[in-house]
Structure 1
């Protein structure tokens, strides 16, 4: 299907319905003629969001840019930022406006192509709310009148999901209308639950280092899985999928540099491999000890979001603001081997992979905020959509 460059508000709902149908709908066969050849994928901004882009012209503090991207499969996905959301149903060959309005998106999550949840604020720096949609993203409403302190959230379906503060974890079974706090160990500074029973927590022990703890009874009891020595532990991010677990432990930050270590386990935390130990002049030593596969992460910069795909594949985005570089690193065997992939221009990035080959990367550059696609696991990237950052 070829989408027009812009749509009016009256057709936004129709777009959402189109997106909703893509993943599972097929038209009845009415002709024996061969289907037309697929349209060539475009690049550039496609003429979308021009009015909103002009509104941000000259606003150096909040130029129009992407803050998050999520694809459900190789064809269907969304990207959003300050006051907008766009989507595609043909792998980025064409994009269309889904939403334009008051909400500035920090993070969003669609467990299916109809229901979505987001952490968003009305203005940058203002109170953040959990909002929801039931029509693909064209309309959003607050799920509570109270602001939330969640840093991120993850929904498994339209009802059940988890939300995380740095020191606390919450669970909902009614689509975010109410939340119950899950018991995590004292001094937790990062957690992840792969289901209601199985969870992981990054715990700091002041003056000693990090502990990675595991629960199999929904937070009732916790057991030690990993120790990593570090003088001044701060926080970590962790993810789990099947037998695979990966954790990024943060060291110090200085001179636009962050030291960190990436550990991975292929057997649910029974044993760990230190994959990356990045030491920097500004951030100091990396947490942990022992040999690491690599002493530099992707772009030799700060770690971004971590994602596990399939049974043994992991991706980590890294960015170096001072060097203006963004790159992705990956492992195809549970962290036993690691590859830092080619760099792109930029100073920040977010990834969304749907398989060990197909993925998307949203980058903030000095002059553009862009979406890139890869079909070879990050070895090469093609720009599919750009917003000109107007600062003059």
Structure 2
């Protein structure tokens, strides 16, 4: 079965285990005076250029750094880049594409999921070979992708709500990867090794594992749930894997659990067990290292970054609390710390290049900005910020 691509959804992770308490101080945002010297002019230029196309204002949707210095941020009709860690930014692209996710394998080759207007839900797969200045749409037929992940400029994976696809020619064509029935989330760390979140109606979740590219799947984790299981997110790098399993949602709240493993799925630790009044009980029960996620009660998970064999970060946001947050483990999930910040926003995404240096984009129209941390998420400095419309 061959064809082409689109983007992904949100959910949460973990099972019980314990101890080793590592404490990180509460995170806080530093004064805006630290913002890059080249930011103000670029912000004004972008807002004026895109004013007619973006009447609600400009917003960020994704940020990706290839090193501590070279990175990009993209959103509603624009992409910007930096080569000095965010001190200064340059315009890379302005136009019709409303970026939802970007994925560059190097400073030249990149892919994105995007729509062609602010109010269009459909997302297309597009590609650039000049760093992001020009984009070409790749035909996807009837397949809609929610998340893309490229290992190099030829090999990549794309994830839909209930399926996984793989390309060996830079996205020109895609083959469906065999996954278990009722898969509702998956991730491959390389062409052979992957995990899939499987919904078992009336029972809960099963996390399945493959080591041969999907030819065979085996049970890695079983999580019971008194609520209807919906979907999950998977993040994996080497032997370190996190899964987020979602419960219900309501009243701007979401219930979820997060589990971690550092031995390829043989043993799991439950890091977060967030039950809410609006979403009901967390999958797997109330027991976990933390009773809520990094954005506070009812907060929604954003994305995760796994660094090395034991460090992991989770971004989050709270529509009700209007604050974003970061959670962190430095020991493979055996302990978990929520570094709550005073950064305003409804949602966020992160891009960490090391255990200490990372970037956070506040997504949506509430406080659209990009921040940097050099101390593992304890403090954040704003780099560039758009004006919020009221």
Q: TM-score, normalised by structure 1?
A: 0.86
Shift of 1:44: 8.1
Gaps of 5+ in 2: 1-33
Gaps of 5+ in 1: 1-39
Alpha-carbon distance in 2 for matches of 1:148, 1:119: 13
Aligned partners of 1:320 and 1:348 also within 8 Å: yes
1:180 and 2:180 are equivalent in the alignment: no
Shift of 1:328: 0.3
Q: Which moved more, 1:200-209 or 1:144-153?
A: 144-153
Shift of 1:50: 3.2
Alpha-carbon distance in 2 for matches of 1:389, 1:146: 37
Pick closer, same or farther for the CA change 1:109–1:335 going to 2, 3 Å: same
Shift of 1:349: 0.6
Q: Which residue of 2 aligns with 1:310?
A: 308
Q: Which residue of 1 aligns with 2:16?
A: none
Q: TM-score, normalised by structure 2?
A: 0.86
Shift of 1:389: 2.5
Which of 282, 305, 324 matches 1:326? 324
Alpha-carbon distance in 1 for matches of 2:51, 2:98: 17
Aligned partners of 1:229 and 1:288 also within 8 Å: yes
Shift of 1:142: 1.0
Pick closer, same or farther for the CA change 1:107–1:303 going to 2, 3 Å: same
Aligned partners of 2:325 and 2:339 also within 8 Å: yes
RMSD: 1.9
Alpha-carbon distance in 1 for matches of 2:111, 2:371: 23
Q: Which residue of 1 aligns with 2:289?
A: 293
Give the SS at the match of 2:41.
coil
Pick closer, same or farther for the CA change 1:129–1:203 going to 2, 3 Å: same
Q: Which residue of 2 aligns with 1:141?
A: 136
Which of 263, 266, 282 matches 2:262? 266
Alpha-carbon distance in 2 for matches of 1:143, 1:78: 21
Shift of 1:243: 1.0
> 1:211-259 CA deviation, whole Å, 9 max, x = no partner?
0000111111110000111130000001111111100001111110101
Pick closer, same or farther for the CA change 1:58–1:295 going to 2, 3 Å: farther
Which of 229, 232, 255 matches 1:233? 229
Give the SS at the match of 1:157.
coil
Shift of 1:46: 2.3
Which of 171, 189, 205 matches 1:210? 205
Q: Which residue of 2 aligns with 1:190?
A: 185
Q: Which moved more, 1:321-330 or 1:367-376?
A: 367-376
Alpha-carbon distance in 1 for matches of 2:371, 2:180: 39
Rg: which structure is higher?
A: 1
Alpha-carbon distance in 2 for matches of 1:330, 1:72: 21
What count of residue pairs does the alignment treat as equivalent? Answer: 352
Q: Which residue of 2 aligns with 1:72?
A: 66
Q: Which residue of 2 aligns with 1:356?
A: 355
Work out which structure has the larger RCO, using CA pairs closer than 8 Å and 6 or more positions apart in sequence. Answer: 2
1:247 and 2:246 are equivalent in the alignment: no
1:111 and 2:105 are equivalent in the alignment: yes
Alpha-carbon distance in 1 for matches of 2:272, 2:171: 36
Aligned partners of 2:187 and 2:196 also within 8 Å: yes
Alpha-carbon distance in 2 for matches of 1:43, 1:205: 53
Pick closer, same or farther for the CA change 1:367–1:228 going to 2, 3 Å: closer
Shift of 1:292: 1.0
> 1:44-81 CA deviation, whole Å, 9 max, x = no partner?
84211535424665989742110000001110000000
1:371 and 2:365 are equivalent in the alignment: no
Give the SS at the match of 1:368.
coil
Alpha-carbon distance in 2 for matches of 1:127, 1:366: 20
Q: Which residue of 2 aligns with 1:170?
A: 165
Alpha-carbon distance in 1 for matches of 2:244, 2:56: 29
Aligned partners of 2:178 and 2:215 also within 8 Å: yes
Alpha-carbon distance in 2 for matches of 1:379, 1:49: 27
1:122 and 2:121 are equivalent in the alignment: no
Shift of 1:119: 0.5
Give the SS at the match of 2:47.
helix
Give the SS at the match of 2:295.
helix
Aligned partners of 2:59 and 2:365 also within 8 Å: no
Aligned partners of 1:351 and 1:360 also within 8 Å: yes
